[in-house]
Amino acid sequence: MRSFHDIFDIAAEHHGGVDALETKLGERPYGPPLSADPSSLPDDRWLAAFTRFIFCSGFSWKVIDQKWPGFEDAFWAFNVNRCAMMSDDDLTDLTSDTRIVRNGQKIVSVRDNAIFLKSLADSHGTAATHLALWPKDDFIGLIRLLRTSGSRLGGTTAQYALRHIGVDGYILTEDVSRALIREGVVEKMPTGKAAQDKAQAAFNAWRAESGRSLTEISRTLALSVG
């Protein structure tokens, strides 16, 4: 695999030079991170972010953004304790609530993720403390925790949510995966454990070499494919 410096040069060539690339690396398509210190972000905001990206998955972002104030109202401002205690009657009411997108499975995921976050808070003081301070050299471990212990947080859903929250990490998008394949890190989309571990090792090496954040490395890889 090439050095990060070489990959950065490829991306810069594709996007109008170093200065233009640095500008692109700072862009956030889904708005600025919720917090510069996500470990201090209230757990209700973590639940809200997970919910937003779960509902956006396979659906119109614009519609979710327009309805978001209704989501905040319908889900009690994403109070983790209240959402964790949603009754069957609450769930039935929400499936007919026009303030939100009425997808039954995604509505249930709010309760399930609230229970998950509450269990982390019971063990660690807050869920945010545990999740935000996860070691960067094992970011894939955090992705796996959210996929296996959370609800509907597989694929890139949790990865996008974490970036939106402000957690430094990579997103294994199609473009990032293509770059990893090009660099000989993996042979195909890194969906399996062995390939994901290889991707994590590559990110660790590029981070040690460049001093860049995982987010910047991830964005550079994506931009290096075109």
pLDDT in tens, 10-20: 999 999 999 99
pLDDT in tens, 116-142: 999 999 999 999 999 999 999 999 999
DSSP string, the chain: ---HHHHHHHHHHHTTSHHHHHHHHT--TT-S-S-SSGGGS-HHHHHHHHHHHHHHTTS-HHHHHHHHHHHHHHTGGG-HHHHHT--HHHHHHHTT-TTS---HHHHHHHHHHHHHHHHHHHHHSSHHHHHHTS-GGGHHHHHHHHHHHSSS-TTTHHHHHHHHHT-------HHHHHHHHHTTS-SS---SHHHHHHHHHHHHHHHHHH---HHHHHHHHHHTT-
- Residues 217 and 206 sit within 8 Å (Cβ to Cβ): yes
**Residue (of 163, 218, 196, 210) closest to 24 by Cα position:** 218
pLDDT bracket for residue 226 (50, 70, 90): confident
The predicted pLDDT at position 196 comes to 98
The predicted pLDDT at position 27 comes to 86
Q: Would you say residue 158 has pLDDT above 90?
A: yes
pLDDT bracket for residue 77 (50, 70, 90): very high
Query: What is the CB neighbour count within 10 angstroms for residue 66?
Result: 10
pLDDT in tens, 148-157: 999 999 999 9
pLDDT in tens, 197-210: 999 999 999 999 99
Q: Would you say residue 82 has pLDDT above 80?
A: yes
pLDDT bracket for residue 32 (50, 70, 90): confident
